[in-house]
Amino acid sequence: MNEGQRPGTAEAARLVEPSRVAAPSDTWMYLDGRMVRYSEARIGLLTHALHYGTACFEGLRAYWNPDLGQLFVRHAARHFERLERSSAFLGITPPLDVPRLVALTLELLRRNEIRADAYIRPILFTASEVLNPAMEGLSRSFAVYVTPFGRHADAAVGTRCMVSSVRKIPLASIPASAKITGTYVNAALAKSEARRHGFDEAIQLTGEGRVCEGSIANLFMFRNGAFATPPLSDGILDGITRYSLLQLIPGELGVGVAERSIDPNELYNCDELLLCGTGMEVLAVTEVDGHQVGDGRVGRMTAQLQQRYRQAVRGYSPRYRDWLTAVYEGAG
């Protein structure tokens, strides 16, 4: 769906989502030091990580700039630095340092000849085939998959959210800063609950009842002339898109942004609300639990942020060019 079309219903937004990608069997992947076809990259059914959720992963996006004939990976090093931090928590180490992880990602995009918006999924997992959750002495595997990838949802329409009954996992159980696969049962339950109740997305609360984040996205609220977003101490993932918005809001919109706890009641009478993440990009929340946010359409601040964000990630803003790594040599 192109930007000019405004179907006007959340149902229509759902049609361009979810981002289910059929992996063509001949896609090139990276697996444990080799480039292999997707059809050759197989793991055993007793793989430890499949049973115990002991893997960590990342989700990166690359954006095609047709004017420059260039593909840009957004915040490549930051994603792999986060992977390193997640893996340290699990006690496993990526096989390569961050610059080499970035380099292999670029190589994989080139090998697949991707000249379109793309998604990149690195995953580091305990690979030994054992029936025991203990992690000592296990082997590990590392894989990267890339695929052409469009929009998560129609940004012109926005998304309808439900405050989920599924609370976030307490920080003392699994740190929110680690992107560990087992943790995502929590996201899956919250998102499925929202879908069952006719909403698009879930907003989750901390165990204590403060606003935390979406199932796979961070949250910003615009109220009384300023933005607010929950702090890391409220158990959010240290989102890379959140970090970008913390730069764009004061730098491009000239308004304030506070990292502070948000009470769920504030969601029902704020002026604008948005979810942000690598996959979701910047998405307006137009409704929470049946309460309209603002006038029920994408708000003015959110629309401006979407525009600035899109320009930055596609390589049209010199000011934010350092967010990007070019894939093709010789192009712009």
Candidate segments 25-33, 133-141, 193-201, 239-247, binder of ligand PMP by CB under 6 A: 239-247
Cα separation, 241 vs 69, whole angstroms: 24
Q: How far is CA 54 from CA 140, 169, 179, 216, in A?
A: 10, 16, 10, 18
- Alpha carbon separation from 212 to 171, 240, 271 (Å, rounded): 12, 16, 18
- H helices within 54-137, ranges in order? 76-90, 98-111
8: nearest Cα among 195, 169, 181, 154: 154
Q: Is 86 in the site for ligand PMP (CB under 6 A)?
A: no
- Site for ligand PMP (CB under 6 A): which residue of 54, 229, 241, 286? 241
The interaxial angle of helices 98-111 and 76-90, nearest 10 deg, is 120
* Least spacing, CB of residue 213 vs ligand PMP, in Å: 5
Among 71, 127, 194, 216, binds ligand PMP (CB under 6 A): 216
- Taking the least distance from each CB to ligand PMP, the nearer of 54 and 241 is 241
By beta-carbon proximity to ligand PMP, the closer residue of 28 and 235 is: 235
Candidates 54, 105, 126, 218: give the one binding ligand PMP (CB under 6 A). 218
Q: What is the distance, to the nearest Å, from the Cα of residue 123 to the centroid of all Cα atoms in its chain?
A: 14
Task: Verify binding: residue 278, ligand PMP, rule CB under 6 A.
Answer: yes
User: Which positions from 15 through 54 interact with ligand PMP, judged by CB under 6 A?
Assistant: none
Q: Is 240 in the site for ligand PMP (CB under 6 A)?
A: yes
284 three-state secondary structure: strand
Q: Which residues make Cβ contacts (< 8 Å) with residue 96, sequence separation at least 6?
A: 104, 142
**Of 250, 313, 305, 232, nearest in space to 273 by CA:** 305
Residue-by-residue DSSP string for 26-45: T-EEEETTEEEEGGG----T
- 120/240 with CB nearer ligand PMP: 240
Q: Which of 277, 294, 299, 315 is in the footprint of ligand PMP by CB under 6 A? A: 277
Find tokens 């499949």 and name the residue: 50
Q: Does 217 bind ligand PMP (CB under 6 A)?
A: yes
Contact with ligand PMP (CB under 6 A) among 30, 41, 54, 59: 59
Window 173-192: residues binding ligand PMP (CB under 6 A): 187
Least distance between ligand PMP and beta carbon 285 (Å): 14
Residue 79 to residue 277: CA distance in whole angstroms:
12
Token pair recorded at residue 176 = 């929110």
* Residue 179 annotated as catalytic: yes
In the complex, the smallest distance separating the C-beta of residue 218 from ligand PMP, rounded to whole angstroms, is 5
CB-side exposure of 283: number of CA atoms within 13 Å? 27
Q: Which stretch binds ligand PMP (CB under 6 A): 38-46, 117-125, 151-159, 214-222?
A: 214-222
Closer to ligand PMP by CB, 28 or 119: give it: 119
Binding status of residue 237 toward ligand PMP by CB under 6 A: yes
Which residue in 200, 213, 234, 252 binds ligand PMP (CB under 6 A)? Answer: 213
Minimum CB–partner distance for residue 221 and ligand PMP (Å): 15
Binding site for ligand PMP (CB under 6 A): 59, 187, 213, 216-218, 237, 239-242, 277-278
Active site residues: 179
